[in-house]
């Protein structure tokens, strides 16, 4: 089959689609990756065709909106700011997507890629939606982002209020585009599901599902990219030899905001807890003095890197949370925005992380306390190993490919 993969967002939103592209190509399917030009090289290295959609995701472009998002703890406001950036020019994305999808037999679409879903419908191409977490799926059994339950009636009411809010956001974000395209399908954020198939690419160990989820939604387990054997830099090898299984800190694209201050804070917290620290740069920009107990590294596959450490401080993104669980190591979560708070709550409830330390209230003292707790209580490491063993039994991307092939 000729299959278009349409995704939007940062590395955590891209990596599972890379895994899917890799698995589909291995089964002799033609893959057209439709996303930000920043990720062109990674898809083309797998043998996929590539179509650039929308503006490039540079560090400078990410930094400003991230500062505004972190400044507020209101998830509605956070999503409004994020949506303004993601859908700054829906007309351009739509015009990029129409020729990119033309000729495809199937489109696999990230749940936030509203314009890709619209383009697929406009071209009468069957489309499959992909989600990486379950906290945004309406259910009578819980509030959004795994905030617990107020009972089924109030839970349902909370989702209705959210639906009303998203409808207003859609009218505002897509008003000009809809006026210019009155016969096209209406773009839909958060609330839409594919009539064909919906995939929840997350482990059942950490992404709870409920009986009132859509009947055509299948939870496959998380999708992981199989990368070539990684050869670490000599300086990293030396640090790991001197400090076996250190503490790791990685904030990925979330590190773009105030990187210097956060790096210094991480070092102070690790030293207060008497733990050697490995920092992965991601989008961060900082400079630290050389020290025996701190090492800064660039890119390294999480599948390799997380197995070298004893615990991971991270932002709670879907990909990073799943990778830490897959590696069997506890987490210390400093959520920055939206679904990251949901992941932080789930990891804490599952005994895989201490209480979250939200990014807006992140300081060395609170982080040092969380670090000490992880190392003082062996239950965190035991539970992490149990979850890793369970995740190893899940089919993940293999099941996803089989389900997609069943639509051909």
Give domain status of residue 229, yes or no: no
The answer to whether residues 141 and 98 belong to one domain is yes
**What mean pLDDT do residues 312-321 have?**
94
Give domain status of residue 228, yes or no: no
Query: Residues 85-121: pLDDT tens digits?
Result: 666 778 889 999 999 999 999 999 999 899 999 999 9
pLDDT at 259: 78
Domain of residue 121: give its range.
2-222+394-405
Q: Measure the CA–CA gap between 182 and 173, rounded to whole angstroms.
A: 15
The answer to whether residues 162 and 269 belong to one domain is no
The answer to whether residues 216 and 298 belong to one domain is no
Which of 66-80, 202-216, 241-255, 335-349: highest mean pLDDT?
202-216
The answer to whether residues 258 and 370 belong to one domain is yes
Residue 53 pLDDT greater than 80, yes or no: yes
Give domain status of residue 348, yes or no: yes
113 near 7, Cβ under 8 Å?
A: yes
The answer to whether residues 113 and 215 belong to one domain is yes
Position 12 confidence tier, pLDDT thresholds 50, 70, 90: confident
Supply the mean pLDDT for the chain. Answer: 91
pLDDT at 360: 82
The answer to whether residues 139 and 286 belong to one domain is no
Give domain status of residue 40, yes or no: yes
The answer to whether residues 134 and 80 belong to one domain is yes
Give domain status of residue 140, yes or no: yes
pLDDT at 171: 85
**What mean pLDDT do residues 11-23 have?**
94
Give domain status of residue 227, yes or no: no
Residue 327 pLDDT greater than 70, yes or no: yes
Residue 337 pLDDT greater than 90, yes or no: no
Query: Residues 146-182: pLDDT tens digits?
Result: 889 999 999 999 999 988 888 888 888 888 889 999 9
Between 43 and 38, where is the model more confident?
43
Give domain status of residue 188, yes or no: yes
The answer to whether residues 210 and 293 belong to one domain is no
**What mean pLDDT do residues 1-6 have?**
98
Residue 405 pLDDT greater than 70, yes or no: yes
pLDDT at 11: 83
Residue 60 pLDDT greater than 60, yes or no: no
Query: Residues 199-242: pLDDT tens digits?
Result: 999 999 999 999 999 999 999 999 999 988 899 999 999 999 99
Position 66 confidence tier, pLDDT thresholds 50, 70, 90: low
Residue 328 pLDDT greater than 60, yes or no: yes
Nearest to 397 by CA among 280, 260, 224: 224
The answer to whether residues 206 and 297 belong to one domain is no
pLDDT at 242: 97
Give domain status of residue 309, yes or no: yes
pLDDT at 70: 66
Nearest to 197 by CA among 127, 276, 301: 127
The answer to whether residues 381 and 400 belong to one domain is no
CATH number at residue 121: 3.40.50.2000
The answer to whether residues 32 and 113 belong to one domain is yes
Number of independent structural domains in the chain: 2
**What mean pLDDT do residues 110-139 have?**
95
The answer to whether residues 97 and 165 belong to one domain is yes
Nearest to 15 by CA among 7, 24, 4: 7
Query: Residues 272-282: pLDDT tens digits?
Result: 999 999 999 87
């Amino acid at each position: 089959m000729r299959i278009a993969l349409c995704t939007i967002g940062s590395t955590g939103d891209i990596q599972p689609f890379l895994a899917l592209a890799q698995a589909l190509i291995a089964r002799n399917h033609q893959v057209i990756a439709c996303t930000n030009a920043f990720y062109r090289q990674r898809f083309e290295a797998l043998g996929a065709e590539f179509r650039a959609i929308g503006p490039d995701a540079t560090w400078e472009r990410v930094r400003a909106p991230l500062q505004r998002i972190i400044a507020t703890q209101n998830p509605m406001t956070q999503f409004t700011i994020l949506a303004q950036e993601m859908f700054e020019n829906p007309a351009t994305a739509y015009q990029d997507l129409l020729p990119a999808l033309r000729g495809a037999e199937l489109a696999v679409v990230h749940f936030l890629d509203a314009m890709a879903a619209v383009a697929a419908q406009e071209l009468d191409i069957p489309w499959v939606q992909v989600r990486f977490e379950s906290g945004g799926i309406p259910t009578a059994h819980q509030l959004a982002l795994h905030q617990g339950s107020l009972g089924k009636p109030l839970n349902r009411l909370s989702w209705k209020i959210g639906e009303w809010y998203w409808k207003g956001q859609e009218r505002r974000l897509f008003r000009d585009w809809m006026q210019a395209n009155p016969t096209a399908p209406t773009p839909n954020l958060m609330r839409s599901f594919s009539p064909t198939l919906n995939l929840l690419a997350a482990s059942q160990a950490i992404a709870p599902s409920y009986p009132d989820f859509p009947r055509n939604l299948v939870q496959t387990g998380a999708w992981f990219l199989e990368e070539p054997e990684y050869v670490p830099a000599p300086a990293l090898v030396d640090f790991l030899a001197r400090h076996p299984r250190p503490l790791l800190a990685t904030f990925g694209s979330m590190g773009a905001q105030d990187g210097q201050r956060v790096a210094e804070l991480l070092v102070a917290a690790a030293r207060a807890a008497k733990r050697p620290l490995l920092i992965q740069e991601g989008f961060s920009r900082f400079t630290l003095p050389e020290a025996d107990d701190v090492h800064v590294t660039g890119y390294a596959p999480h599948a390799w890197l997380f197995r070298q450490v004893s615990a991971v401080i991270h932002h709670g993104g879907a990909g990073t949370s799943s990778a830490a669980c897959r590696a069997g190591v506890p987490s210390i979560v400093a959520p920055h925005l939206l679904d990251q708070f949901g992941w932080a709550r789930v990891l804490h409830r599952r005994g895989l992380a201490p209480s979250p330390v939200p990014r807006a209230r992140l300081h060395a003292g609170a982080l040092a306390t969380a670090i000490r707790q992880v190392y003082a209580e062996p239950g965190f490491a035991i539970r992490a190993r149990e979850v890793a063993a369970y995740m190893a039994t899940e089919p993940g991307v293999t099941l996803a490919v089989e389900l997609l092939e069943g639509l051909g």
